[in-house]
Amino acid sequence: RGRRKVVGASNSSASTVLTTVDLVSLGVGSCVGTGMYVVAGLVAKAMAGPGVILSFIIAAVASILSGVCYAEFGVRVPKTTGSAYTYSYVTVGEFVAFFIGWNLILEYLIGTAAGASALSNMFDSLANHSISNYMITHLGTLQALKLWDTYPDLLALFIALLVTVIIALGVRNTVGFNNVLNMVNLVVWVFIIIAGLFFVSVNNWEGGRFMPYGWSGVMQGAATCFYAFIGFDIIATTGEEAKNPNTSIPYAITASLVTCLTAYVSVSVILTLMVPYNLIDGSAPLMEMFAVHGFLWGKYTVAVGSIAGLTVSLLGSLFPMPRVIYAMARDGLLFRFLSHVTALTHTPTVACVVSGSLAAVLALLVSLRDLIEMMSIGTLLAYTLVSVCVLLLRYQPDDQTDTHQFDSEHQDMDCLKHEDAKDNQILTDNDESSSYHAARPTPATGRIVTRCTLLLFFVSFLLWSTIIFGVEQGTGVGAVFSGLMATMMAGSLAKLLIMIIQQPESTRSLPYMAPCVPFVPAAAILVNSYLMLKLSPLTWARFTIWCLIGELKHS
């Protein structure tokens, strides 16, 4: 029988020091660095042209769908660490929670290593590549390890270890450092907008150059731009350290996403009006756009902002990782020593050191090019599971939706097949059809929603698989047949949503509730499953291997 987490009064020794402003700063910082200084130029040059503006808006809508679900669950389970891991543990049980937590750890490892590597590349670029040349001359390359030459990045190793020390010193110190860097980034952002206005040319948007790759390029760009918004979930990992998580978490998630969207759109407008999309520099677009116009002082000002922004993004990747490890270790799913909290700093120091050291080794040995290819499939899956959890809890009986009173003997979702035969007939038994019209949810109506939600989850993947691999890539009769199958599956999704709507919702009132349930969580599931299926086969292979390792540990 699966176990669900019992969430009672918090006995954590973590310090409660974070305000709403601190949480917004963490959320914005974890997103905006790589999004503004790396993703904007990459998508504009190779995928969407000036249409990157639309790509960011579409990606923001997708992120907000997941964000509002995160916000509701942050209110339902406020005094916790571990974000989607804890949410899944409370709602659907241990196995799924371990699966989610295990993959979040990998995503944070990759994000931290990539951030350190990006910062190393930035310093190397400012030094006219003298750092990399020195490393290659004196240390050689790792061609035997990779398909192309790369070098042991000692600077990235040092950066990752330095940030690990900053995190381990305590959350208050971390947030203070984070706020200072965000202020630097804010000043540089304002500078980019104001200074850039003197060099803009509307000719760069005329003559069909606004969307040179069409809507296909805009949508492909949106899938990439989505990763510029990944990071708001750091806010949900701070439940035990926030002063008032019930209000701070939803407000901070919303504010951080809106702030990031504003920054991305404004910078994309200036970038694409200053430089023709096909001439944008792929490695340092915002720095080089001023250099193109001979404004070198502007280039070095942007360099300062780039370093600050990428450092904050690095903090945003490393900050939640030890907290997820700490939460899993405290629940007995990882080694217990990883849950140790140092009395002096009130932080999970052991988890910080272990996770930071692993990320530093990745940054040392693996190139940024390789790290970027390892996209955030685990994070997308976590977002999807949180949306599933919101659907489940909204339609459960009130005594079960109270997450402070979850019985650890409740069955996990994977045990539904062991329900009594009469429960298995709930969808077709006419005598129980009155459950559709019940004033309050019952165990029977809750099971209907659970089954419908699970089917919604799996049919969403089948639908997008059919469209992507059958309709878009198919030809002739095969494409027509795939189109018919996709239409039938879309109809099935609509029917499942109608069945969920017919069930009574929980009457429990929360300080924040996701709007338009079940449509918003269902839309989040659809969007996230589409983005997951757009990832490369290499990512899915890595995902499978990591999951198998985790299953060996769990079993």
In angstroms, rounded to a whole number, what is the distance separating the alpha carbons of residues 508 and 160?
A: 44
Under-70 pLDDT residues of the chain: 1-17, 74, 77-83, 91, 141-150, 171-175, 236-242, 282-283, 368-370, 372-376, 399-438
Three-class SS state of 2? coil
Residues with Cβ < 8 Å from 37, sequence gap 6 or more?
A: 284, 285, 286, 305, 306, 309, 310
pLDDT at position 372 is 66
> Could you give the dihedral angle defined by the CA atoms of residues 76, 81, 87 and 90, in that order, rounded to the nearest 10 degrees?
-80
SS (H, E, C) 219-250: HHHHHHHHHHCCCCHHHHCCCCCECCHHHHHH
Give the pTM.
0.78
What is the distance, to the nearest Å, from the Cα of residue 433 to the centroid of all Cα atoms in its chain?
Answer: 40
In angstroms, rounded to a whole number, what is the distance separating the alpha carbons of residues 537 and 11?
A: 43
What is the distance, to the nearest Å, from the Cα of residue 486 to the centroid of all Cα atoms in its chain?
Answer: 28
Where does 169-284 have alpha helices with state H? 171-196, 214-225, 233-236, 245-274
> Buried b / exposed e across 413-450, counting CB within 10 Å, b at 16+?
beeeeeeeeebeebeeeeebeebeeeeebbebbbbbbb
Q: How many helices (H) and strands (E) does the chain have?
A: 23, 0
pLDDT at position 459 is 96
Q: Which residue's structure tokens are 């110190």?
A: 173
φ/ψ (deg, to 5) at 441: -65, 145
Structure-block tokens of residue 305: 């902002």
In angstroms, rounded to a whole number, what is the distance separating the alpha carbons of residues 59 and 94?
A: 31
> Buried b / exposed e across 73-96, counting CB within 10 Å, b at 16+?
bbbbbbbbbbbbbbbbbbbbbbbb
pLDDT at position 276 is 93
Q: Is the peptide bond before 518 cis (omega within 30 degrees of 0)?
A: yes
Angle made by CA atoms 495, 498, 502, in degrees to the nearest 5: 140
Of 322, 407, 313, 399, residue with least CA distance to 358:
322
Q: Which residue's structure tokens are 């020794």?
A: 13
pLDDT at position 147 is 41
In angstroms, rounded to a whole number, what is the distance separating the alpha carbons of residues 306 and 231?
A: 18
pLDDT at position 132 is 81
Structure-block tokens of residue 142: 């790792």
> Buried b / exposed e across 104-121, counting CB within 10 Å, b at 16+?
bbbbbbbbbbbbbbbbbb
Residues with Cβ < 8 Å from 242, sequence gap 6 or more?
A: 16, 18, 19, 23, 78, 248, 249
CA dist list (Å): 156 to 112, 166, 182, 195: 10, 15, 21, 32
Three-class SS state of 427? coil
> Could you give the dihedral angle defined by the CA atoms of residues 133, 134, 139 and 144, in that order, rounded to the nearest 10 degrees?
-10
Residues in a beta bridge with 242: 18
pLDDT at position 141 is 67
Contact 149, 140 (CB under 8 A): no
pLDDT at position 411 is 40
Contact 510, 77 (CB under 8 A): no
Burial of 208 (0-12, 13-18, 19+ CB in 10 A): exposed
Residues in a beta bridge with 18: 242
Residues with Cβ < 8 Å from 270, sequence gap 6 or more?
A: 192, 193, 196, 197, 200, 289
